[in-house]
Amino acid sequence: MSASTTADLILASTSRYRAELLRRLRVPFIQRAPDVDESRQSAEAPQDLALRLAAEKAFAIARGAPGHWVIGSDQVCVLGDAVLGKPGTHAAAVQQLQRLSGCRAVFHTAVCVIAPDGSEQLRNCPTEVQFRHLSPAEIETYLRLDKPYDCAASARSESLGPALLQSMRSDDPTALIGLPLIAVCDMLRASGFDVLARAARSA
């Protein structure tokens, strides 16, 4: 479903992955870029960082879009006490996957929905991921094929990323990709946006 100028649903993100997920719901939406500083605050817990940024992104757009539902989301990967962000470069991605090899990481995917009446819903959907023991050759092959340099923890779960994993646990299967659709549908429905009814009208 392409974006529509008459859509009253806004995705507060420039992420193509989140946009691709939201299109699965078959409702028109607009995609807008929030201007938010994503720096971690001193002593801020990773899940709190994800929740705060999801809310800040949603509110940054909602303030200028009265009468709309706005979805904001953010994802933070945690390995032990370390937060792993988007690597940006091949060398940084190699280092991240070397650290993740044989380890369990938690991806905190937070989502915020703001309704036209200004009410806010905020939820975190964690995913526990166990990485296999990865050889240097496997890491190089994966990075060459998938190029996940814009993905947290250097793994693209909607593509070849599962080849790196031993297991994963989550209550929301699309959370790891970047937008937990079960939570989004539930939050939208609670705020008066019936996804199924709107999808039927848009068909």
User: Which of the residues 35, 48, 74, 172 is marked catalytic?
Assistant: 74
Dump strand ranges (E) for the chain. Answer: 9-12, 30-32, 69-79, 82-84, 104-114, 120-131, 165-169
- Is residue 74 flagged as an active site residue? yes
Q: Which of 183, 149, 156 is nearest to 50 (CA)?
A: 183
What do you get for the CA distance between the two ends of the chain, in Å? 9
Sequence-separated (6 or more) residues with CB below 8 Å from residue 2: 28
Partners of residue 132 on adjacent β-strands: none
d(CA 47, CA 12): 19
Q: Angle between the 90-100 and 136-146 helix axes, to the nearest 10 degrees? A: 130
What six digits make up the tokens of 112?
A: 């915020």
Asked if residues 32 and 151 have their Cβ atoms less than 8 Å apart, the reply is no
Per 3-state DSSP, the chain is made up of helix, strand and coil in percentages (nearest 5) of 35, 25, 40
Q: Which residues are known catalytic residues?
A: 74
